[in-house]
A and B are shown apart, each in its own frame.
Chain A
Amino acid sequence: MTKGMLRKMRPTFIYALLGIIFMLAAPSVLQLFTIINLTTAIALSVLALSLALIWGYGGILCFGQVAFFGLGAYVYTISAINFGGSTWAILVAIIVTSAFASALGYFIFYGRVSDVYLGVITLTVTLIFFSLIRRTSGPEYKIGNALLGGFNGVSSPPINLPWNSASFLFPEQVFYVAMAALIICYVFVGWLVNTKFGRVCVAIRENELRAELLGYDIRAYKLGIFTIGAGIAAVGGVLFCNGVGRITPDIFNLYNAALTIIWVIVGGRGTLIGPIGATFALFYVTSALGGQSVFNNNLVLGIILIIFVLLVPKGVAPTIIGWASARRKKSQRRVRRRRRAEGTR
């Protein structure tokens, strides 16, 4: 890590620190019910982080990012049931999901498919998962000891202490694990986007042809970032099924696919903390609306998305950063003007 990189990562470290403080303080201040809900929100924000990486920084508009999230959750659940413990299951979930993503990514990027068409393919993938798994209700649909459960889903074994399947974690401890995972992933991604690899990915987003003309194999870079993003989404999936207690095929549906995109749009492409914040904000908005019929989730989410696309296309975080830097520049200009005026007197 160079000095320049450390300097660029300062905001990342600050937010990470805030996260650690929150993680340690929250269980003493908040109710258990809130902590459990938070765990789910944290899991979702890891998903948002993964899309913020591959779309916000990498320029890859993946409509079906939620597919990797759900796949990670399912692979974890099925593995944990079969292994009788969570330790290897978590690893298997990440590896299987990343492997799947790299196969899909190879297919897409080395086939030079891009833009909207990439969006269609990834959306189709999540819909395939949705269709497939929904119809696995019968007792004949199982992997090892684990029934797939069809549209009812499967109960997920909770995370346990490493290699000690008897001592599974309580909700409060799961919260710690989730926050720790979020913070680690966040710092990791914050570091990644400042490495040569990350910066080349950003360049590819800006102008693919120019990146190629500089000698970079853009297919390999896109494949790399896509796979990493899927792995992070899988981590989110593991946390999710621990927060909720089970995983159902609804995770793969259109609404959730849209929600993932909305988090990144609202939070701001090109930032990491923005989408994470947006996830929490929208999670609480939708929870507060509850199962209401009039001001229902769809209505509110639809309005939010439209408003953001039309009026705040950059998202919340970049807009705030824009204001802050514009005000700083204005006051710098004022100071300079004053100095010049004083100098001539």
Chain B
Amino acid sequence: MDLIVAVLFQLIYVISNLALISLGLAIIFGMMRVINLAHGEFLMLGGYTVVVATNAGINIWISMLILAPLIVGVIGVVVERLLIRWLYGRMVDTLLATWGLSLLLVGIVTSLFGASTGTTVSPPLGVLRIGEYSASGYEFFLIIVTILLLFGVWLTLRFTKLGLLARGTMQNAEMASALGVSTSNIYMITFGLGAAVSGLAGGLLAPITGVLPTIGATYIAKAFITVISGGAAILAGTTAGSILLGGINGIFSFIAGSTFGEIALLLAAIILLRLMPRGITGRFFRKSL
């Protein structure tokens, strides 16, 4: 019984991890059809913010929950104004430009901090006991935070004025603009928010994964694949994609080790895209958020 709970816990963690790292990308993709390949670097920057701030003496919870999203959010706004703004509607070009941005950010961080970091941060919160098995208390915390984050995004989109304006712009930008909405500002804010969510995610994961300039690469592939497989709906897509791909990853990892888990995820994504070329929410739950 305890084994089942422990295994289930791991599975849920894998799924929520995937959702956490993908949400920022999904917000930007769902809203603006921009595939931000620098997403992994936003996560990385969030991680660096936490490590640098915490080692400078700032309380770890503040670095993770406030500083990381704030700083990366601002960076996101700057990126949108300087780069993304010129490329709306040109999906391939934004893909390529953000790829360039990704390389650029890795390069800048390497220049500033060197190719590897000297110090890291250890995960706060201790160990959870599940009968005979122990699980990481921090992982439990992350699961809760992910659920809260998804809920928070849903609340914002559904019930706030900003959310309404954002959804309107997402569905019909011209109409929204004709009604007096500054679509340019909406895009800027949304990109900033997506970046902030990514920064938050990266910051939260820093104690577990450590930080390297190149760590973005480990995130981007999975996040990219999850978002595309999930389809255009921000929340439904991310959730569906994470559950399906994360679930397969988790199950196969449990059966045959993490390598096979990764490969199973990638293969599942390929098959998924073949069967549903527009992602899961391109076929099901099409009108959902």
Check if B104 is an interface residue, CB within 8 A of chain A: yes
Tell me the bound Cα distance from A258 to B40 in angstroms: 15
Q: Which of A19-27, A86-94, A222-230, A301-309 contacts B (4 or more CB under 8 A)?
A: A301-309
Tell me the bound Cα distance from A124 to B111 in angstroms: 29
A residues in contact with B220, CB < 8 Å:
254
Check if A195 is an interface residue, CB within 8 A of chain B: no
Check if A135 is an interface residue, CB within 8 A of chain B: yes
Check if A244 is an interface residue, CB within 8 A of chain B: no
Among candidates A131, A135, A295, A306, residue contacting B101 with C-beta atoms closer than 8 Å? A306
Q: Which of B62-70, B83-91, B121-129, B199-207 contacts A (4 or more CB under 8 A)?
A: B83-91
Tell me the bound Cα distance from A295 to B274 in angstroms: 41
A residues in contact with B17, CB < 8 Å:
none
Q: Which of B18-26, B144-152, B168-176, B263-271 contacts A (4 or more CB under 8 A)?
A: B263-271
Among candidates B87, B97, B266, B278, residue contacting A131 with C-beta atoms closer than 8 Å? B266
Check if A82 is an interface residue, CB within 8 A of chain B: no
Among candidates B95, B110, B111, residue contacting A116 with C-beta atoms closer than 8 Å? B95
Given A293-B115, A296-B111, are A304 and B100 neighbors across the interface (CB < 8 Å)? yes
Kindly report which residue of chain B lies nearest to residue A128, judged by CB atoms: B266
Q: How far is the CB of B200 from chain A (nearest CB, A)?
A: 24
Chain B contributes a number of interface residues (CB within 8 A of A) equal to: 43
Q: How far is the CB of B246 from chain A (nearest CB, A)?
A: 16
Question: Which chain B residues in 26-70 approach chain A with CB under 8 Å?
Answer: 35
Check if B181 is an interface residue, CB within 8 A of chain A: no
Contact between chains at A120 and B101 (CB < 8 Å): no
Check if B92 is an interface residue, CB within 8 A of chain A: yes
Tell me the bound Cα distance from A298 to B270 in angstroms: 29
Check if A48 is an interface residue, CB within 8 A of chain B: no
Q: Which of B131-139, B189-197, B221-229 contacts A (4 or more CB under 8 A)?
A: B221-229
Tell me the bound Cα distance from A113 to B91 in angstroms: 16
Q: Which of A28-36, A104-112, A324-332 contacts B (4 or more CB under 8 A)?
A: A104-112
B residues in contact with A265, CB < 8 Å:
96
Check if B211 is an interface residue, CB within 8 A of chain A: no
Tell me the bound Cα distance from A107 to B111 in angstroms: 43
Check if B71 is an interface residue, CB within 8 A of chain A: no
Contact between chains at B111 and A310 (CB < 8 Å): no
Tell me the bound Cα distance from A306 to B104 in angstroms: 9
Tell me the bound Cα distance from A304 to B106 in angstroms: 14
Question: Which chain A residues in 274-328 approach chain B with CB under 8 Å?
Answer: 293-306, 309-310, 313
A residues in contact with B208, CB < 8 Å:
none
Among candidates A117, A127, A258, A261, residue contacting B266 with C-beta atoms closer than 8 Å? A127
Q: Which of A295, A296, A300, A302 has the most CB of B within 10 A?
A: A302
Check if B239 is an interface residue, CB within 8 A of chain A: no
Check if A66 is an interface residue, CB within 8 A of chain B: no
Contact between chains at B99 and A261 (CB < 8 Å): yes
Contact between chains at B111 and A303 (CB < 8 Å): no
Contact between chains at A298 and B106 (CB < 8 Å): yes
Kindly report which residue of chain B lies nearest to residue A257, judged by CB atoms: B99
B residues in contact with A96, CB < 8 Å:
none
- A-B CB contact pairs (8 Å), 14 listed: A108-B274, A113-B277, A116-B228, A123-B221, A135-B259, A293-B111, A293-B114, A296-B110, A299-B111, A301-B103, A304-B100, A306-B83, A309-B87, A310-B97
Apart from A301-B103, A306-B104, what are 18 other A-B pairs with CB-CB below 8 Å? A115-B91, A116-B95, A116-B228, A117-B273, A123-B224, A124-B221, A127-B266, A131-B259, A254-B217, A254-B221, A265-B96, A293-B111, A296-B110, A299-B111, A300-B107, A301-B100, A306-B97, A309-B87
